[in-house]
Each structure stands twice: as structure tokens, then as C-alpha cells.
Structure 1
Amino acid sequence: MKVSVVLPVFNAESTIERAIRSILQQTFADFELIVVDDGSTDNTTRTVQRMTSMDDRLRLFHLSRSGIARALNFGIKMSSGKYIARMDADDFSLSTRLKQQVEYLDTHTDTGLVSSLVRYKGDTVAREGYATYVNWINTIITSGEIQHKRFAESPFSHPSVMFRRHLVHRFGGYQEGKLPEDYELWLRWLHHGVAMAKVNDYLLEWHDYPERLSRNHSHYAYERFFLVKSRYLKLYLKQQFGKLLPPLWVWGAGRVVNNRVRYLKQLGLTIDKFIDVKLRNDKGERFIHYTRLPAPGNLFILCYVSDRRGKADILQYLGQKGYNEGVDFLMMA
């Protein structure tokens, strides 16, 4: 078996048939579709059972309510494919998705995970923030861009990825706990040197409903993301600098930034200075105006500014000053 598509589902009676049909109608045929019903209480199970008679590539498994990470790990355990593709019950895979992603992994043998561009299917006015996020991830395509942007936000739509099965055995599968299981996996595998990229084509329609798990579950709260990224940031800095860690400067100030920086302090990292756009009467020089930045090479900047316009201005300014992303600074929000 070339590909195993793993689709966990909980109470998705209104969308599950569409999601399954989008996989069964793929132009690439050498796959199995493993649906893991995570304790649904609506008509989801009956719908999937009915569809199993249509195509013997569709397999249904049942779990008591355990959560998406455990359902995913179970689905991977039950699978047999060389490649594992993710799919969600809310979404729709375009007909050439599996074909293009398989061809990419077959051709790029040094790449461990491949994603794609995604089309946002939701209310772009009421859900402007999410729509903007989708626009952003569609600009992060190459392996280098994914490496550098990994700490800003999760660079992938989870149901858009396909990865090599052996990575699960080598570096572990989804971590079960109070955390965003997909983002933690990307950061862990990237830490271990797994190259990731995207097919530069729209292969998934990402449907955004008010009841979508990533909108409502506490595991996907902003602070959970910052806790996870702080842990892997510390590992990243150790990889880059060893024991000779340069002074860490944080670009940003205020209550929100302080709340997010506290995770770094809890991990034993020391912040030397804060960079701000405001002129401050700070005799201890704890805060420094951005126009007083020294030349790159003797410090490392962590930018926690979350305003998208502000982030773009900071990226441009640091580039003009000779700072290189991933070498001299990282965007953390």
C-alpha cells in the first residue's frame, strides 16, 4: 500500500460523507482510507458504515471518546501505507491531492513531510483572523521558509499534510496531552532535522465552522501554542549556539508580551533587553529604542509583536540593518 489516509471523526454527520467522497474520488488509486470514529453520538457511524460497502479501501474503526491525538495514533497504527496522509471530516481534498503529494515525496527523497496550499472556506468577515492566517500559511512554501517561520505560527493546515511513515517510528507520533498536537509534532520533527515543504498548488478546501475543534478546544488556546513553541525555541537555541548563548533581546513590550516571555523565563532563559518603538526614560536601559539596535552578530532577537502590519515593518527594518532571519532573529508571533 502506497498511502494510508487517516481521518479521525467525532460527530460530523453533516460533513463526513463529503470528506470521504473527496478521498475516494482521487485520481491516485493506491491508498486506504482509515476512519477512526472517536465516540460519535450522532449519525456519523451509520454514514461511514454505509459507505464502506461502496469501496473496500475504506476501513472504519471505533474508539471510546479519547481525543484527536489518540485517534490519530491509533489510525496510524492500523495503517499499512508507506506514506501517511491526514484528512479531517470537515474538509475536502481536491482530486489530484494524493497524486501530487506522492509524486513530490517520491521525487524529493530528502523531504519528510509535504503539505500544500489551501483554500479557506469560511466567513472571511466574521472569521477575518482565521482567513488572514490561511493567507499567511499559503506564502510559506519552501523548506527554508518553513524552518524560519516555524515559531511564528503553525506553518501548515493539519489535514493538508502527507508524511513518511518511518518518521513516526523514528521520532514519535502525536503527543497526547493539553497541547496543539499537530504544531508540537511539526516542531519536534523539525528539531530532529526533518525537511518539510509544500506543493505550490491548492489541494485542500479548509472549511471553518464555529464548532471546529481548533476553535473551541482548550488544547488550541494561544497560550498552549506559546508554551510549546517556547520549549522548542530553547532546543533550537541550544542547537544553534551550544552553551555560548548570545544575549536575548525581545522586540515588544506590554502585558501580552510579558505573559508570553514568562515561559522562556520558566525554562531558564534570560532576557537581556526589550526593544520598543516608544522612547522611554529608562536609566537602567532595560528598554531600548529600535533605532539604537547595534549591528548584528552579538545578540539574538525574538520578535513577539503580533500585529501583522507591525511584523512586516520589523522584518523589513531588520533586513535593512543586516539581520538574517533564523541566524540573528526569529518571529515568535
Structure 2
Amino acid sequence: MPRLSVILPVRNGERTIARAVTSTCRALPADAELVIFDDGSTDSTPTLLRSFESASVRVITSPVSVGVATALNMLIDRTDSEFIARMDADDVTLTGRFGYQRRAISPGAAVNFTTVLEWRPDSRRVSPAAPLPISARAFPYHLLMTNPVSHPTLFAKRAALVRVGGYRQVPAEDYDLWLRLASEGIGIRRLAIPTLLYRMHPQQVTSSLEWRHASWTDRTVAAAFGRLSDMLLGRPFSRLVSLGFDATVGPQEVERTLADFAARLESAIADLPPWDRRILMRRLAGRCEAVRAMGRTDESGATVPQP
């Protein structure tokens, strides 16, 4: 039985899947496997995947698309390893990734992520992110303001993912899972060293304003956020970004909510190391300003982009 299963869902990924699979296989430890879910692809992806099948690469095929959350849960159900790692069909795994992340698993952090190198193939440009780690103690507070990690860098103990029921069918299935993990007291951290070339392109789902609005207003994710904020801050809050476009909430109520959130957060993190506190308060300031900017217009009448 492999100790690690790297799970990779793909749909119509003929342009990028070969490099994603090849780079992942090169980084696989001897006791690991790559398991790919072909989510009803209608291009040449199925043919490409068959050429990769081997003792360490398995392919599961669905004749119709079931969506990413269901595909990921099926991948988890069809594997039995101690550890689960994620990979996407359009990214590139860097050498040494899985050993580095497995060594970082500990009783206090059953889940970890890493930073990434943002990769824009059209311009042949790679942009390194600041190599800033996030400790297991600070991570839940970061989740109250944003999703601070890239989903395909996930490395986790299977038991942690199973404990919270895996992925759910929501617009931000990854963020929703992190919220539930944190609410269960499962330690999560972000490691400093990048392990992935993360492809940036205009067609990314998360760059769509429609997708963002769906994520911000989803009741299931809102409930998960409320549970975590109640646990950490002593009161269930709505996601801060939802304040910026909720027409029923006036400017004064927005300011009162932001002030209450900030006061509770500052009190809750008072015993964290100074570095963690500074980063969190800086992130909070940026998030509050973004919320205030939503709906404003500049001198030309153009709407300020939403976070």
C-alpha cells in the first residue's frame, strides 16, 4: 500500500496534462502513487492519460463530468494511503516537493501547504511569492480574512480530510474545507519554500467576478465561516467581503462590523508571536480597505475592482 496518494482531477486538459503528470511522477517518492480522475473529458485527454498508466500511475475515468468536488471525493475514496496530496492538471510540480511536505507533518499540523511560483507561460515569466510561512497557530486567523494558500499544494493526513467529510459542492470547495478543518482544531500551516509552478491565466475560474460573488454569498460556506469566527472571536461573523456588496448593509453598519471584528481579532491574537501579529494586522488593514472600496467609483466613474 502506498503511503502517499497524489490526487489529480482533470477535464479537457490536453494542452497541459502531460507536463503536470510528468513533473509529478519525477517528484514521487518510491512509496507513492499518482491517481488521476478524468472528469468526462471530450478532447484527447483520455488518450494521453492511457499512455501514462503504470504501477505508480492510476487513471479513473468518468463518462460524464461530475465536478471537481465529487471528483476529489471519489479520488479520496478510491485510495487508501496514509497521506493525500493534491495536484492540478495545468501546474508543474517542483523536485523534492513531497518529501519536504511529508517531513513537515506533525501532531500539531496534520495539513500543510507551500508557497508557489506564479507562472505566466504566455510571457515566459515566473514570479516568486514572498517565502513567508504561516504557523499552525496563526493559520485559522488568516482564514477569517482570505484563503492564504493554493489548493494544489495541499499535503495532508488522510484521517484529517475524512474526519470533516471531505469536499462539499460549493463554489469555493477548497476554502470551505480549510474552514471546517480549522473549526475541528486540525492544525494547518503554510511552508515557506515553493513547491509548484502555479499557472496564471485569464480563464481561471477564481478570476471570474461571477464566481467570486457566488463564493461570497454561498450559505454553506458562510455557515462554516460563522462557526470558525465564533470559535476564534466569540461571535459568528459574516465574511468581510460580503459586507462590501450587500445593499441591505449601510456604511455605518459596515464600519461598526469592521471595528468589532478588528477589536476581537487583535485581542484574540495577543499571545501570538510579534511576527504573526504584524502580518495578521497588516492583512486585516488591507481587507478592511478593500471592503470599503467595494462600490466606490473613481473620478472617471469607473467602479473600483472588488477583492
- Using the size of structure 1 for normalisation, the TM-score is 0.69
Are the aligned partners of 2:93 and 2:196 in contact in 1 as well (CA < 8 Å)?
yes
How big is the alpha-carbon RMSD for the aligned residues of Structure 1 and Structure 2?
4.0
The reply to whether residue 141 of structure 1 matches residue 134 of structure 2 is yes
* Match 2:212 to one of 208, 211, 221: 221
Q: Is the 8 A contact 1:249 1:272 kept in 2?
A: no
- Distance in 1 separating the partners of 2:75 and 2:52: 18
Amino acid of the residue matched to residue 117 of structure 2? R
Which residue does the alignment assign to 1:90? 90
User: Would you say 1:66 and 2:66 are equivalent positions?
Assistant: yes
Q: 2:199 aligns with which of 186, 191, 207?
A: 207
Alignment CA distance shift 1:61-1:287 (3 Å) = closer
Larger radius of gyration: 1
Query: 2:175 matched to 1:183?
Result: yes
Quick check: 1:155 aligned with 2:148?
Answer: yes
Q: Given the alignment of the two structures, is residue 37 of structure 1 paired with residue 38 of structure 2, yes or no?
A: yes
8 A Cα contact 2:112 2:189, kept in partner: yes
Separation in 2 of the partners of 1:190 and 1:151? 11
> 1:251·1:274 contact (CA, 8 Å) conserved in 2?
no
Q: Is the 8 A contact 2:94 2:195 kept in 1?
A: yes
**Displacement after TM superposition at 1:65 (Å):** 0.7
CA distance in 2, matches of 1:250, 1:221: 12
Alignment partner of 1:153: what SS?
coil
Scaled by the length of structure 2, the TM-score of the pair is: 0.74
Structure 2 partner of 1:120: 118
In the alignment, what sits opposite 1:171? 164
For residues 83-110 of structure 1, the C-alpha deviation after alignment (integer angstroms, 9 at most, x for no partner) is 00000000011010011011111xx222
Secondary structure of 1:202 counterpart: coil
Question: Against the structure 1 CA distance between its residues 250 and 217, is the aligned structure 2 distance closer, same or farther, given a 3 Å change threshold?
Answer: closer
CA distance in 1, matches of 2:216, 2:36: 27
- Shift in alpha-carbon separation, 1:124–1:135, aligned structure 2, 3 A: farther
1:313 shift after superposition: 10
Aligned CA distance change for structure 1 residues 47 and 217 (closer, same or farther; 3 Å) = farther
Distance 1:62 1:217 in 2: 31
Secondary structure at the residue paired with 1:17?
helix
Maintained 8 Å contact 1:249/1:273:
no
Query: Match of 2:56, as an amino acid?
Result: R
The aligned amino acid for 2:59 is L
More strand by share: 1
Query: Structure 1 residues 28, 251: closer, same or farther in 2, change over 3 A?
Result: closer
For residues 1-333 of structure 1, the aligned pairs below 5 Å read 1-26=2-27, 28-52=29-53, 55-63=54-62, 64-105=64-105, 108-122=106-120, 135=129, 139=132, 141-176=134-169, 178-215=170-207, 220-225=211-216, 227=218, 230-240=222-232, 245=235, 257-260=243-246, 273-275=253-255, 311-312=285-286
Gaps of 5+ in 1: 126-130, 266-270, 276-285, 302-307, 316-332
Please report how far the alpha carbon of residue 142 of structure 1 lies from its aligned counterpart in structure 2 after TM superposition: 1.6
Equivalent pairs, count: 271
Structure 1 residue 140: Cα displacement: 5.3
Residue 272 of structure 2: aligned partner: none
**Distance apart, 1:239 and its partner CA:** 2.4
CA separation in 1, counterparts of 2:52 and 2:163? 34
Give the letter for the 2:111 counterpart. L
CA 1:192–1:92 in structure 2 vs 1: closer, same or farther (change >3 Å)?
same
Closer, same or farther: CA 153–287 of 1 in aligned 2, 3 Å: closer
Equivalent-residue separation in structure 2 for 1:225 and 1:20 (angstroms): 33
Please say if residues 34 and 58 of structure 1, whose CA atoms lie closer than 8 Å, have aligned partners that are also in contact. Answer: yes
